Amino acid sequence: MLIHASFILLTGSLPHITLLYLNAAHAQLLGNDYWALTKQLLTEGPIEAFTRPKFMREAGGVLTKDGKSGMVWTTNVLSTYVLVSHAHHLL
C-alpha cells in the first residue's frame, strides 16, 4: 500500500520520470556465526568478508503475512514489478 500511495503522490507532482533506479534488498537474518566470521576474516581478508559474507545465518522459508509468498522474493522481485507497473505511464 505504501508503494501505491507514493505513486499517487508522484503522479500528481511529476509529468514524467527520466530515470528510475530500482534497488531492492531484503534478507531474513537470524544473526552472525562469529566463528565463521573470524575464519573468513583470517583466510580471505576483511574486504572479501564484508563484500561477500559467508557468516550470516539466514532464516529460510519465511512467508509474507498472508502465507502465500516468500518474504525475500516478494521484497526483492515483486516490489520492483509493482513499482514499474504503477509508474509505466510516467516513463
Sorted by where each begins, the domain ranges of the chain are 2-90
Ramachandran sector of residue 3 (left: φ over 0; alpha: ψ -120 to 50; beta: rest): alpha
Q: What is residue 64's three-state secondary structure?
A: coil
DSSP secondary structure, 47-62, as one string: HHHHHS-S-EEEPPS-
Q: What is residue 1's three-state secondary structure?
A: coil
Quick one: CA torsion of 86, 19, 71, 8, rounded to 10 degrees? -30
More reliable by pLDDT, 71 or 6: 71
Average pLDDT over residues 68-86: 78
Average pLDDT over residues 57-85: 81
Q: Which residues contact 61 (CB under 8 A, 6 or more apart)?
A: 70
Model pTM?
Answer: 0.52
Eight-state DSSP code of residue 28: -
More reliable by pLDDT, 30 or 19: 30
Residue appearing with cell numbers 572479501: 48
**Residue 87: pLDDT above 70?**
yes
29-59: pLDDT as tens digits: 899 999 999 999 999 999 999 999 999 998 8
Average pLDDT over residues 62-78: 81
